[in-house]
């Protein structure tokens, strides 16, 4: 469905994605830090071990990590389901600066919601964003998430959301 809507596709994270993901995170580090807490230098220094740990979590079924790729296979973003438990998971996503504002996040979130229900058997998702990230809040509203309340992300105020996937 994502390809039909945007010419893009979701691809489940694999070991051979490591170099592309690291390059994506480095290229967008400053852009992401404007709206979410920075990952810090340790993330980049220990990336290989971190990537392997993510794959192990995915193999265990506690997380589902996806890349958002354009028609030529270029990495535009990431959309993930983490902390899978009791039929629920937390949604997280980051779309790179060059793809921002083009509907990529909305299309990717809708596709991962469909996949969460049909492919992973989940019944609900939660999400969080910083209170000053208007773009992310708009994506969550457009994709059927409703506000649960306030939270803190890093040291920044945030908003918690939830979306049911059945019914």
Range of the domain at 94: 2-164
Specify the pLDDT at position 35: 78
Specify the pLDDT at position 7: 80
| pLDDT-based confidence at residue 166 (cuts at 50, 70, 90) | confident
b (16+ CB within 10 A) / e for 70-85: beeeebbbbbbbeebe
Given a contact cutoff of 8 angstroms between Cβ atoms, the answer to whether 35 and 130 are in contact is yes
Specify the pLDDT at position 49: 94
Domain count, the chain: 1
The more confident residue out of 167 and 126 is 126
- Residue 2: which H helix or E strand, with range? helix 2-6
State residue 38 phi and psi, 5-degree precision: -65, 145
Lowest-pLDDT range of 1-5, 8-12, 116-120? 1-5
Specify the pLDDT at position 62: 95
Both tokens of 72, joined, read 């030529």
For the chain, the farthest-separated pair of C-alpha atoms sits apart, in whole angstroms, at: 44
- CATH number of the domain encompassing residue 64: 3.40.630.30
């Amino acid at each position: 469905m994502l390809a039909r809507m945007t010419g893009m596709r979701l691809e489940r994270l694999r070991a051979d994605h490591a170099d592309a993901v690291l390059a994506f995170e480095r290229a967008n580090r400053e852009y992401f830090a404007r709206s979410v807490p920075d990952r810090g230098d340790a993330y980049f220094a220990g990336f290989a071990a971190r990537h392997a740990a993510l794959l192990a979590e995915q193999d265990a079924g506690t997380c589902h990590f996806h890349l958002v790729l354009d028609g030529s296979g270029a990495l535009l973003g990431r959309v993930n389901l983490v902390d899978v438990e009791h039929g629920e998971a937390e949604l997280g996503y980051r779309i790179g600066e060059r793809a921002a504002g083009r509907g990529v996040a909305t299309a990717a979130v809708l596709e991962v919601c469909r996949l969460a229900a049909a492919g992973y058997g989940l019944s609900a998702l939660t999400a969080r964003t910083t209170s000053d990230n208007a773009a992310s809040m708009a994506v969550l509203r457009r994709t059927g998430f409703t506000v649960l309340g306030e939270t803190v992300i890093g040291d920044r105020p945030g908003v918690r959301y939830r979306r049911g996937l059945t019914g």
